[in-house]
Amino acid sequence: MNTLITIVMFLFGSVIGSFLNVVILRYRTGRSVGGRSACFSCDKKLSWYELVPIASFATQRGKCTGCQARISWQYPIVEAITGILFVLLYARFAYLLPTMPLLFGILFAYYAFIASVLVVLSAYDMRHKILPDGLTMLFAGAAFVGMFFLKGDALILHVPGIWDLCAGILLPAPFALIWLISKGKWMGLGDAKLMIGIGFLLGMSGGITAVLLSFWIGAAFSIMLLILGGFVKRGGVFSMKMAIPFGPFLALSTLLAVIWQLDLGFIAQMFGGSF
């Protein structure tokens, strides 16, 4: 049964990921997310079998069946990532399903929405090097509301602690200052705005952990790109001057903190100490 549910969750997530691709590509273009999908090159309307998540990209070999234009790898990647995230969120809350299915459904739906918004923000940042205010504020608003209803894995109407309330202000403050001092050269203001939602979602301890993880993952990714670039072309195809969006690393670290319940105690264990 668990294997079947896992497969269903992945398929469900990949379908949601297909919709997220539409949002990513049409957001702020003046086009609505409704209407039939079409090839961007020849405007051919896509049939249902050309819209099956992941599988259609594979069977069409990454090309439009009409004009043979290449289809962006963004489509299957976003669909697969969303599917994997839904599976991980199911695994995170699966223990609630046998005894408290309603609570499981609420928690899963809430965090699936959060994950979906972060996927859209990450892909949009990768494409356009910007985190749009509308999406970052949607994320922050959902996280803020969740503070008053979610306490751990329990659904309880309550007033959050002072540190949880202040996390959405204190966490982004140093990075907003970095943006101001560097005039946007070292860090974008959108990254600081994204941290507002991260602070409200994870609280101070979890938020700090997510930010630290994002820097470590970002640094590892940058080093990997530079090393791989050296193999691809003498002198490297990547350089330290290359702009790498930071939003996806923040989003990834936030989701890792949610799924594995990471906080400063996790950081302390890594260094053999305690906070």
Question: Using CA atoms, how far apart are residues 24 and 69, in angstroms rounded to an integer?
Answer: 20
Torsion sign over Cα 229, 132, 92, 160: positive
H or E element in which residue 154 lies: strand 154-155
**Mean pLDDT score of the chain:** 88
DSSP string, 57-70: HHHTTTB-TTT-PB
Which two three-digit tokens encode residue 156? 């309880």
DSSP string, 60-111: TTTB-TTT-PBPPTHHHHHHHHHHHHHHHHHHHHGGGTTT-HHHHHHHHHHH
Tell me: pLDDT of 87 over 90. Answer: yes
Mean pLDDT of 53-61: 88
Higher pLDDT, residue 79 or 237: 79
pLDDT tens across 36-50, in order?
A: 677 767 877 777 677
Percent of the chain residues past pLDDT 90, beyond the cut: 64
pLDDT tens across 226-275, in order?
A: 777 654 444 444 455 566 789 999 999 999 999 999 987 766 666 665 55
Q: Which region holds residue 47: left if phi is over 0, alpha if psi is between -120 and 50, else beta?
A: beta
Question: Using CA atoms, how far apart are residues 196 and 189, in angstroms rounded to an integer?
Answer: 11
Question: Using CA atoms, how far apart are residues 140 and 198, in angstroms rounded to an integer?
Answer: 7
Which two three-digit tokens encode residue 11? 């398929």
Domain residue spans in the chain?
Answer: 1-99, 129-275
